[in-house]
Amino acid sequence: MTSLPTNQLWKWFGLFAGILAILCLFLASIVWGVMNTNWQTVMDAYLHFNGSNEQIVIKDVRLPRALIATAVGISLGICGALLQALSRNALADVEILGLNSGASLAVVVAMIFFGVSSLAQFTWIAFAGVAVTGVLIYVIAASGREGLTPLTLTLAGAAMAALASSITYGLLTVNQQTLDEVLFWLTGSVSGRKLEYLQAVFPYMASGWLLTLMLAKPVHTLMMGDEIATSLGQNTRLVKIMSGLAIVLLTGSAVAVAGPIGFVGLVTPHLARRLVGPGLFWQFLYSAMLGAILLLTADIGARFLAYPTELPIGVVTALIGAPFFVILAGKGSEKR
Amino acid sequence: MKANYSVRSRKFAVSLLISRRAFWTTVFFALITIALAIVSTGMGEMKISPAEVLKALLGIGSPQSALVITTLRLPRILVALLVGGAFGAAGAIMQAIVRNPLASPDILGVTGGASVTAVAFITIFQSASIFLLPFAAFAGAILIAFVLYLFGWKRGLGSFRLVMIGIGLKALTGALVTIFIVLAPQILTSKAMIWLTGSIYGTSWTDVSLILPWFLILLALASICARHANILQLGEEIALGVGSRLSRNQLCLMLICVGLTGAAVAIGGAIGFVALLAPHIARQLVGPSFGSILPVSVIAGSFIVLGGDLIARTAFAPLDVPVGAITSAIGAPFFIYLLYKNRGR
């Protein structure tokens, strides 16, 4: 066991290295792609803009894409860490718990029945979808003899996901036109999104980040159990409600910009725990950082795995995250 | 009057014991399903009365309705029956081996595995014979079954853990299917899409002939293995204690289950929750003996897919909703109910 100051130093150093990695990946994400560009073009696009195709691609496509991947990655990563801490469940994730499918269903319903098509409205609908699904899953998982356990939460989420996605696909087949409009959104992607999309939701996203970091200590106390937290003088209901709000803010805004992307928030908290130990504040920070790294990498992977066709980024994260989930699930219950 | 009918052979190791009640329930249920099939054949863009359908089937109807029925409607109805039956049987076998009320080929991801290889086969080997498609689906299903075995089998089958692993595998196979769909040329996209939800839209006699041999052979094998399944249902210790060759029997039944799943997926895609619902319905109707569960589960599976498809193509006419969307809408709440009922295990 290293002494505290050194330990702290290492944590800051890790954070610094992580941010450096994000920067490198960010630049790589701008330069690499189907249309080949180099550093010079990137520099020129901002210093000597001459309207060439390459420069327009960089300004209008690549940069927004990299920014969105970073912001969404941070949101999903930090949200996953909060979810896992709160539910005391190493398998919790926005995808597994069905929050993504709930948001998708809400957006599709809004498009078909209420003719909603502007992004500003999408955001609110995605928020509502996440909130409603979250409450439903919580109620289903908590009702009954045993109450809320990690397993019932996961299984209730999986069942909700199946239900919501089947209804979504049913609605989409009935409305072929909507299918074409939202299919790419439904598989999750950070490409083809305008920067305004991100600007619209960024305030919610950022407040979600801050709220989560502020919640680190109270949630850590809550993890010891409701009784202990209460006897320590904590208003447990308030903490839970605030956490719920943070999850809705983070998931809702991430889904609104990039569509449902799964498994980022599943993988990152595990890595973060490995790296920084049990302190929740650092776990949240590291998980956010790793989320951005993961999503930027996945986005670059999405361009080259099936070159020259581009894959939806949700597919790439599922390819990374799903085996991870299977292994975790296989291991996790040995203690049971 | 005996309380049970038994089918036994002195030469071969086959034994089926079916109670009187179960027998008549099965017959009754089968008749209802046949009636639904006949009514369903008449429903659609062009309404044909059930009597007219029967006449057409016997070859004495008007040529016009006979044409509609034999070339358009009938193959789809038969495919619904066969695919549903295969899923039902696969579910019954799976639950007998795994002894977990939440287990079924679709929940555990076996259906997903079959979908991946089926879609891969269609997109990569575009010129290959369509009769090889069930084999491709079978291969994928086997692969997932093997992964399940690797991760879950020996360390307790009954737990929720197996279901959790299945959820992960399902997500993984879903991602892989999407990759193949994205990679596929445009004309194949809509064809490949059916493997995401499951649909029997536009099936032809080729599809019937594709699935029929698999269905018949594997179902016969499953009936032969019924006595092994009965013993397995008692638990591994008891099964070993009474002298069952446990691993061999488990493997045989698993292969049959995977084969049925593969064949059904090759034609209808991943039609969700049928394989979960059917055995539960069967158990409610005829009790725990596998010899009675198997036929009733087959019929229940047929009934669900047939009924689901009827809703799917008439309720939103002229559109054809994938049947998988309907079965999931029914099946997912039932899965939640099962979770609720079985908690604390």
The secondary element (H helix, E strand) that includes residue B26 is helix B20-42
In this prediction, residues A138-163 reach a mean pLDDT of 74
Q: What is the pLDDT of residues A37-65, one digit of tens each?
A: 777 777 777 777 777 777 777 777 788 88
- B309: closest CA of chain A, how far (Å): 12
The residue among B214, B207, B301 whose CA lies nearest residue B256 is B214
Q: Which of B123, B182, B273 to mutate to test the interface with A (most CBs of A within 10 A)?
A: B182
How far off is chain B from A51, nearest CA to CA, in Å? Answer: 32
List of residues 6+ apart from B13 with CB closer than 8 A: B227
- According to the model, what pLDDT value does residue A177 have? 67
d(CA B69, CA B52): 10
CATH no., domain B78-312+322-342: 1.10.3470.10
Structure-token match 């369509």, residue found: B130
Per-residue pLDDT at A36 exceeds 80: no
Residue A32 has pLDDT above 70, yes or no: yes
Q: pLDDT band at residue A310, thresholds of 50, 70 and 90?
A: confident
Q: Which of A145, A148, A166, A331 to mutate to test the interface with B (most CBs of B within 10 A)?
A: A166
Outline where B205-289 has alpha helix (H): 205-224, 226-232, 236-241, 246-268, 274-286
Q: Which residue ranges make up each domain of chain B?
A: 78-312+322-342
Instruction: Calculate Rg over the CA atoms of chain B.
Output: 20
> Is B335's CB within 8 Å of A162's CB?
yes
Q: How much is the ipTM here?
A: 0.78
For A244, the 3-state DSSP assignment is helix
Return the residue in A87, A94, A138, A169 with the most chain B beta carbons within 10 A, the one to mutate for interface testing: A169
Whether the pLDDT of residue A2 is over 50: the answer is no
Within 8 A of B147 by CB-CB distance, chain A residues are: 326
- Please report the pLDDT score of residue B181 as a whole number: 79
The CA–CA distances, whole Å, from B319 to B48, B84, B305, B314 equal 19, 22, 18, 8
Q: Which residues pair with A67 in a beta bridge?
A: none
Asked if B343 and A262 come within 8 Å (Cβ–Cβ), the reply is: no
pLDDT on residue B324: 85
**Is A105 in contact with A164 (CB distance < 8 Å)?**
yes
Domain membership flag for residue A180 = yes
Q: Give the C-alpha distances (Å, rounded to integers) separating B1 from B4, B18, B20.
A: 9, 14, 9
CB-CB under 8 Å, B182 with A163:
no
Q: What's the pLDDT at B13?
A: 65
Distance of CA B200 to the CA centre of its chain: 13
A26 falls within a domain: no
In a domain, residue A77? The reply is no
Q: Which residues pair with A259 in a beta bridge?
A: none
Mean pLDDT, rounded, for A202-225: 90
Which tokens in the block code for residue A321?
A: 């995250």
Kind and range of the H or E run holding B16: strand B15-19
Residue A32 lies in a domain: no
The pLDDT, as a whole number, for residue B315 is 82
Contact between A261 and A314 under an 8 Å Cβ cutoff? The reply is yes
Write down the residue that tokens 């447990």 correspond to.
A236
Is A9 contained in some domain?
no
Q: Answer yes or no: do B167 and A158 touch at CB < 8 A.
A: yes
Q: What does the pLDDT read at residue B304?
A: 94
* CA of B142 vs chain A CAs: smallest distance (Å): 17
Q: Which residue has the higher pLDDT, A202 or A59?
A: A202
Task: Give the number of other Cβ atoms within 10 Å of residue A319's Cβ.
Answer: 21
Give the per-residue pLDDT at A33. 75
Q: Does A8 fall in a domain?
A: no
Query: Given an 8 Å threshold on Cβ–Cβ distance, is A263 in contact with B165?
Result: no
Whether A324 has a pLDDT exceeding 90, the answer reads no
pLDDT band at A293 (very low <50, low <70, confident <90, very high): very high
CA distance A303 to chain B (A): 12
- CB contacts of A89 in chain B (<8 Å) are none
B182 and A332 within 8 Å at the Cβ level: the answer is no
| Inter-CA distances, B217 with B129, B220, B248, B307, Å | 21, 5, 19, 25
State which amino acid sits at residue A14: G
- Interatomic CA distance for residues A14 and A34, integer angstroms: 32
Predicted pLDDT of residue B184 = 75
* Cβ within 8 Å, pair B343-A145: yes
What range does the domain containing A155 cover?
87-331
Q: How far is C-alpha B27 from the chain's CA centre?
A: 20
Task: Give the residue on B whose Cα is nearest the Cα of A302.
Answer: B179
User: Average pLDDT per run of 10 along chain B, which is 345 residues long?
Assistant: 67 69 88 91 81 82 81 89 95 86 86 90 80 88 87 61 82 85 73 72 84 92 84 77 78 91 89 90 86 91 93 79 84 79 61
Q: Which residue of B has its CA nearest to A314?
A: B175
Tally of domains within chain A: 1
At A194, the pLDDT band (50, 70, 90 cuts) reads: confident
B304 within 8 A of B274, measured Cβ to Cβ = yes
> Token pair for residue B142?
């086997």
Phi, psi of B198 (to 5 degrees): 95, 120
